[in-house]
A = this chain, B = another copy of it.
Amino acid sequence: MPLAITATLSFVAPHPVDCLLQCEVAGTPQQRIVNGVTTLPAAMPVQRVAAQDGVGERFWITAEGEVSILYEATVEIARRPAELSSLGQVAKTALPGDTTQYLFDSRYCAAETFQSLVEDEFHSLHGGARVEAMRDWIAQHFTYAPGTSGSHTTARDSFVERRGVCRDYAHVMIAFARASGIPARYASCYAPEVTPQDFHAVAEVFLDDGTGGDWVLVDPTGMAEPHETAVIGVGRDAADVSFLTSFGLVDFGGHAVSVERY
């Protein structure tokens, strides 16, 4: 089933400011872009670069004055839901080199300090079964509470506070997985059941699906199903896949997202 996606961003840059945007669905074997158009202010040059791990693209603009950005796309998702508990753990010593960075501490996911905790709470479980148990632990202990966290909030903060939004749920999931020796990255995405509708974020964990290992989506908020999740981009954590990163002062005017089954 295709998804029809619309996202708008607007902001004002009093002075020229370089901005990096990442709001378009990534074209991947599992995500076919039926059509997709980004509309920018007339005559604004755009410089595109491949995004992290080759998943999707980012683009640079030099913003000045009022800037409105409109992204419209129709996307076919071919991702099949994984039966988490059927997936194995890839031995760390057998991990592909490019997954290694996703075992390390990052800005918001200082995973190493969680090692004792995950060993205590989930010691009898491995691979997908452990990920499933960790996801359910977060879902059970956390309250989805917009407005209680912010751009400074880390996985450690969220773990203590037991509340937050999709970003915070994903960060704790990532920290738990890495502390278990399972590579985990952050995926920004669009999904139709996100309430209220907004950009969404989930975790991706690297598990053994019988082919040597692959990235699998996990959403501790329970709002995004893998077969209806349109991934924009991936990174170590939220620091890497912001929809707007401005290198200088901008007045952010707001954003709106709509995702519908087509």
Contact = CB atoms under 8 A, between A and B. Distances in A.
Nearest to A60: B93
A92 B18 contact: yes
A159 interface: yes
A160 B152 contact: no
Interface stretch (A30-38, A100-108, A222-230): A100-108
B107 A105 contact: yes
A50 B159 CA distance: 33
Contacts of A29: none
A156 to B, nearest CB: 5
A157 interface: yes
A114 interface: yes
A244 interface: no
A163 interface: yes
A253 B150 CA distance: 20
Nearest to A175: B160
A62 interface: yes
Contacts of A245: 103-104
B47 A117 contact: no
Contact of A60 (B60, B92, B105, B156): B92
Contact of A114 (B49, B117, B160): B160
Contact of A95 (B49, B100, B103, B150): B49
A117 B60 contact: no
Contacts of A235: 101, 104
